[in-house]
Amino acid sequence: MKQYAVNKLAKLAGVSVRTLHYYDQIGLLTPSVRTSAGYRLYGEAELLRLQQILFYRELDVALKDISNILDDPEFDLVHALESHRQMLLSKKNRIETLVATVEKTIFHLKNKVNMNVEDLYAGLPKEQAEAWRREAKEKWPGQVAHAEKQLLTMDKDSYRQLQEGFKANWEILASLAAAGLDPASEQVQQEIAIHYRYILQFWGKAGDQAAAYKGLG
Amino acid sequence: MKQYAVNKLAKLAGVSVRTLHYYDQIGLLTPSVRTSAGYRLYGEAELLRLQQILFYRELDVALKDISNILDDPEFDLVHALESHRQMLLSKKNRIETLVATVEKTIFHLKNKVNMNVEDLYAGLPKEQAEAWRREAKEKWPGQVAHAEKQLLTMDKDSYRQLQEGFKANWEILASLAAAGLDPASEQVQQEIAIHYRYILQFWGKAGDQAAAYKGLG
DNA sequence: ATTTGACGCTAACGTTACGTCATAGCCTAC
DNA sequence: GTAGGCTATGACGTAACGTTAGCGTCAAAT
């Protein structure tokens, strides 16, 4: 029967020797024999097991889970893979959102929509807007996409103007907050509404940090 | 001027106190003041900087890169974002491939195409096939997609038959390898050709491990 | 028989971006 | 003055190895 030392097996399977050491260490793939000198020797069974390990690893399954899959015949593989699939899909969604955001950012930078003249100011609306878009979408569904297109075709001066307005609104909000005004007060609510409208035009992006928003109010 | 202690700032920005400690530690976000008791106090500027940090972090940019972006005005942000975008796109591609593979695997498992009767055998072709599909695609372009459809509509018995043939072929290859035959010999080449054809029908998937293939020969 | 060079071993730190204690000082309100 | 809440600094844990470092083994060539 064939026997493979670490290097051989590593090359056969396309992994590093370190990986085999590691898999041995965590008990995921134990060599069939240890020579008197301590050398690891693997047989066919181990080669096949390694193939399976690599298969699941390729699917981004954690090594611990692979252990379970391979060692526990009762393991509900289908279920595990289905939830794994969900994970992958949401990862994909997230990445798609990121790509869109990055592309938009690149666009803005390329068009030098100042944004850098006052770095302090520039960073804020990006993040804030990022954080509020989803809320905006809920309140004025359908508007966001429109606002985005508008923004993309806007020239520098209009943009500058918008930015000024946004900044003014932001500063009012900040002063109200500093004054310790009740977030539920009408004045605050009004400014917030204006703020949302600016956000809609301005950037059109967000997470779900209503909490942070309230924190500021 | 407003001042925020760690907890305040953390809640405002939606991050943990530990994160602020960490950002201070790596010099990404330093408090404007340290009280005599060692307390960190952040001002408005730090809040804004944190917003920027969070914005880039949201885009999966490494903290080190964020440091560069924010601290080096010469930093080529557009270029960085463009290469970042490429990274995201290839990540996305990879995930899409993974999802497809996972779905196919689930399909096979659900249809109980045995695959588990002999676990050792079951895992092998998956990984091997995974590893060889690209090669197959190069050699018989257009065939792979067809083979996949065929496989998906195949009933259990046909599949079983296919699997038997594949196994036999595999064992021949293994014995030839064990006999130390020259991988360039015609006999080996022939079996390999058969092998490829099986792979085409069998699974239709792969990486680029021609090396591993040759290693076996 | 010895040298050489390839290969093997273990131990242990480095990586990323924090989470999670543990221990102890500080601050404010009652 | 004391309880409760906030803060600080370590320091270990995480996932999956990569990367030295220091040292033993083996097979072939001399």
Could you read off the pLDDT of A96-142 as tens digits, one per residue?
877 887 788 788 777 764 433 233 233 344 444 444 443 444 444 43
Rounded-to-integer distance, Cα A16 and Cα B179, Å: 26
Q: Which protein residue has its CA closest to C1' of D15? A: A62
| pLDDT the model gives residue B124 | 41
Do strands A4-5 and A40-42 pair parallel, antiparallel, or not at all (unpaired)? antiparallel
CA atoms within 13 A on the CB side of A14: 20
Residues 6+ apart with CB under 8 A from B119: A52, A70
Provide the 8-state DSSP code for A1.
Answer: -
Rounded-to-integer distance, Cα B181 and Cα A2, Å: 14
- How many angstroms separate the CA of residue B132 from the nearest CA in chain A? 12
| pLDDT the model gives residue A96 | 85
Q: To the nearest whole number, what is the mean pLDDT of chain B? A: 66
3-state secondary structure of B153: coil
Yes or no: say if A29 and A49 are a contact pair by the CB < 8 Å rule: yes
Say if residue B82's pLDDT is above 60. Answer: yes
Structure tokens at A106: 């690149």
Q: What are the tens digits of pLDDT across the range B185-212?
A: 555 555 545 554 444 444 433 332 333 3
- How many angstroms separate the CA of residue B49 from the nearest CA in chain A? 7
A88/B99 CB distance under 8 A: yes
| pLDDT the model gives residue A59 | 80
Helices (H), B72-118: 77-110
- Cβ atoms within 10 A of the Cβ of B10, count? 19
Q: What is the mean pLDDT of residues A80-102?
A: 81
Q: Does A92 touch chain B (CB under 8 A)?
A: yes
Q: Is the CB of B153 under 7 A from strand C?
A: no
Q: What are the tens digits of pLDDT across the range B12-44?
A: 899 999 999 999 999 999 999 999 999 999 998
Provide the 8-state DSSP code for B29.
Answer: S
Element (H, E) at B45: helix B44-58
